Structure 1
Amino acid sequence: MSGKIVEILIAKDKKSVMQNVNEAVLEAGKGIFGDRYYDKDEEPQNEITLIEKEKVDSFNNEFNLTLQYSDFRRNIVISNCDLNTLVNKEFYIGNVLLKGLELCEPCESLADKTSKDILTGLENKAGLRACILKDGNISLSSQLEVS
C-alpha cells in the first residue's frame, strides 16, 4: 500500500489556525517540530495524526459543506491509503518510521469548530493517531509505505 502526502499541517497552539508547511521534522517521542503537541505530552498518540483526503472530500460532498483539510486539525492529509488498516502496524512516510496506534475519532471540540454532522459522518473515518519510532524529515513529495 502506498499513499501520497497532500498537506502537512501544524499549529503553534491548540487555538491557532493550522498552517500548511512544505516539510516537517518528526522526532521520536516528541512529535512534529513546531506543532502544538511537540514535546508537551507524554501520550504517544498525540505525536502525529493523519486523515484521508478522500474521506474529507466525501464528507463535504455528503453534507454539502466546503470544509478545508486544515479544519479537521490533523497533521498529515494523505491520499490513496486506507488509514484504518494501519492500526497496530508500522509504516514509513519518507524515511520516518511510524506506528499506527488508534483511530482518531471526531470529538465535540472539532464538531463545535466545523459541523455537528462530523460526529456521525466521520465516525471510523476521521483519521489515525500514530507515534514516531524513528526521526526524520518529511515533505510533500514523501510517500507513505507500509513496512
Structure 2
Amino acid sequence: MNNGKLLHIHTAARTGRPMVSHESAIAVADAGLEGDRYLTGVGRFSRSPGSRDVTLFENEVLEALRKEHGLELQPNEHRRNLTTAGVALAQLVGKTFTVGAVTLEGLRLCNTCRFLNVASRKQVSVPLADRAGLICRVVKGGAINVSDPITLE
C-alpha cells in the first residue's frame, strides 16, 4: 500500500447535527473520537452490533461522484469522521494501520443509507453503493492531525 494522507477530520455531537471540522482530534481506544456521537453512544447506529469507533471516507470517491454523477458532496456531508487520500479503504478491511500516532483496525465497509440523502439533501446513496467508507476500531488511541500519514502496519 502506498502511504495515504489524512485530509479532513469531522465529528458530530449527536445524530443529525452538522459535522464540525477539526485540525486535530483525540482518538480513544475502543471508543472513538472525543466530541463525536459514537464515543458517547448517541450515534444513529450506536445500538447496532459491532464497533464503529471511527469511520473513514476516500476523497477520491468525492471526486468520482462529481465526475460520474455531477454530484458535489463536501467532506463534511458524507458523515464519516476522517477523509483520506491515496489509500483504497476496501483493502484495509481486516488489517491494522496507523493514522499518525493512532492505530486503527479496519472492520467492515460502510453501507449506504437513505439518511445520507436526507442529511446532505442530495441523492447520493445509490451512487455511493460499495464505496461509502470504512468502519474502524481504535486499537491504540492518541492524537490525530490533518496531514498525518496513513500507513499499513
Q: TM-score range by the shorter chain?
A: over 0.9
CA distance in 2: counterparts of 1:14 and 1:83, whole angstroms: 24
> Could you tell me the TM-score, scaled by structure 2's length?
0.89
- 1:31 alignment counterpart: 32
Task: Quote how far apart the aligned CAs of 1:141 are.
Answer: 2.6
CA distance in 1: counterparts of 2:114 and 2:23, whole angstroms: 30
Task: Quote how far apart the aligned CAs of 1:44 are.
Answer: 4.9
CA distance in 1: counterparts of 2:16 and 2:113, whole angstroms: 15
Question: Within the alignment, does 1:123 sit opposite 2:124 as a pair?
Answer: no
- 1:141 alignment counterpart: 147
- 1:60 alignment counterpart: 66
Alpha carbons 2:65, 2:72 under 8 Å: kept: no
- How many residues are paired up? 146
Q: Unmatched 5+ residue regions in structure 1?
A: none
CA displacement, residues 87-107 of structure 1 (integer Å, 9 cap, x when unaligned): 010000111111000001211
CA distance in 2: counterparts of 1:110 and 1:32, whole angstroms: 20
Letter in 1 for 2:30: G
* Identical columns (%): 32
Alpha carbons 2:16, 2:119 under 8 Å: kept: no
Q: CA 1:44/1:142 → structure 2, altered by over 3 Å: closer, same or farther?
A: farther
> Could you tell me the TM-score, scaled by structure 1's length?
0.93
Task: Quote how far apart the aligned CAs of 1:109 are.
Answer: 0.7
